[in-house]
Structure 1
């Protein structure tokens, strides 16, 4: 979350920027190439408390992030946090520990691509 005291603006799927929806759809399909293309070359992804820097590390993360478990995702909402910052909530169900999770995907965009993604509960 941002430390800014301004309120987020609720938005829908159709109002999200293209790089975000492209990534989310490609990741759900396990299309590593299309998902990776949504990121800047020096992007950083934080998932499960680990940072993945740049294209090679993000590609490896994309390839391995869905290998351990089978799951489905469903968009449940989104907010605009700042001019180039968005929080997308996805509902996951699958065979991972707990079986159900609502995760926040916090995106920062730069130059029409994702420069930062933080995934957390």
Structure 2
């Protein structure tokens, strides 16, 4: 499967639980929507991913990636310490300047 470089880094940093490298995948003004909450900017995104890493210790296995222009949908099997693990989730991405500007996680 062919992945955009930032999507490859996004998966790698998630699986390494490296919140600093994870946040570096996002634009300064990026927005993340997950579990009914919105996180704006790198500071909020860092707090969200640090909390999620601590709670869920998740690992992401990419299954499919479809892209149209700057928009992409990554389908991945995510396993961790959360109820219903593993789960197949979709990561709706909008890229800008080779970084993630928007991410929406859905089940």
TM-score interval for Structure 1 and Structure 2 normalised by the shorter chain: over 0.9
Q: Secondary structure at the match of 1:59?
A: helix
Retained in 1: the 8 A contact 2:55–2:81?
no
Q: CA deviation at 1:76?
A: 0.9
Matched ranges for 1:56-95 at <5 A: 56-80=43-67, 82-95=68-81
Bigger radius of gyration among the two = 1
Q: Which runs of 4+ in 1 moved over 4 A?
A: none
Retained in 1: the 8 A contact 2:74–2:92?
yes
Q: Deviations over 1:8-50 (max 9, x none)?
A: xxxx2xx221111111110111011111111000000111111
Q: Report the equivalent of 1:120.
A: 106
Q: CA deviation at 1:70?
A: 3.5
Q: Report the equivalent of 1:43.
A: 30
Q: Deviations over 1:48-78 (max 9, x none)?
A: 1111000110010111112112343211111
How many residues end up aligned between the 2 structures?
107
Q: Structure 2 length normalisation: TM-score? A: 0.92
Q: Which runs of 5+ in 2 are unaligned?
A: none
CA RMSD of aligned residues (A): 1.2
Q: Structure 1 length normalisation: TM-score? A: 0.82
Q: Which runs of 5+ in 1 are unaligned?
A: 1-11
Q: Distance in 2 between the 1:69 and 1:112 partners?
A: 28
